[in-house]
Amino acid sequence: MQIVDGSATLHIMTEDGPKSFAVSAGMMVIMPQGTWHRFHAPEGVSLLTATPKPTEHLTVDVEDPRTLTAAKLSNTIEEKWR
């Protein structure tokens, strides 16, 4: 992910638990495949992404994806093939 304009907080889930990082214009982030992540940018951010197919997207807003039950998780994942 290339941060083109603005700034955000990048939240990721690691083996050690959740971590947050400040990112801003000019920075690049390489996210390991399968790593849960999201951005929080109250003032907006423009970014460029490249994601291999297929990819999974959660459609629920959760602070910690580890709290989702298997049943809830299976109902919220969308396979993206476009």
Q: How confident is the model at residue 8 (pLDDT cuts 50, 70, 90)?
A: very high
Could you report the per-residue pLDDT of 19-66, keeping only the tens digit for each?
Answer: 999 999 999 999 888 888 888 999 999 999 888 777 666 666 667 766
- Residue-range definition of the domain harbouring residue 53: 2-80
Residue 77 pLDDT exceeds 60: no
Among the listed residues 78, 77, 2, 6, the one whose alpha carbon sits nearest the alpha carbon of residue 40: 6
Total-model pTM: 0.67
Region 3-32: mean pLDDT is 93
Amino acid identity for residue 43 in this structure: E
Which residue is associated with the tokens 């304009």?
5
Token pair recorded at residue 81:
């093939």
Which residue is associated with the tokens 């396979």?
79
Total tally of structural domains belonging to the chain: 1
pLDDT given for residue 81 in this prediction: 39
